[in-house]
Amino acid sequence: MIASESCSPVTSVFTLILTNWKELEYRLSEPFKSSQARNTYYFVKVQVYGNQAL
């Protein structure tokens, strides 16, 4: 997992979420099944890394 240096609080929150994904995935897989949780994760990941690449 690559965490880029940034002063943005939003980016910091997303970085925290991404680094703690295994814990979140475990919690999310209860109400949603893991496929939906994983799709949400990849969507967020693309949004975050896509925005950083610009």
- Confidence (pTM): 0.28
Angle between helix 34-53 and 9-19 (nearest 10)? 140
Query: What pLDDT, on the 0 to 100 scale, is given for residue 35?
Result: 74
Give residue 44's pLDDT band: very low, low, confident or very high (50, 70, 90). Answer: confident
Digit-coded pLDDT (tens) for 4-41: 554 577 788 878 777 787 777 777 666 656 677 678 87
Query: What pLDDT, on the 0 to 100 scale, is given for residue 31?
Result: 61
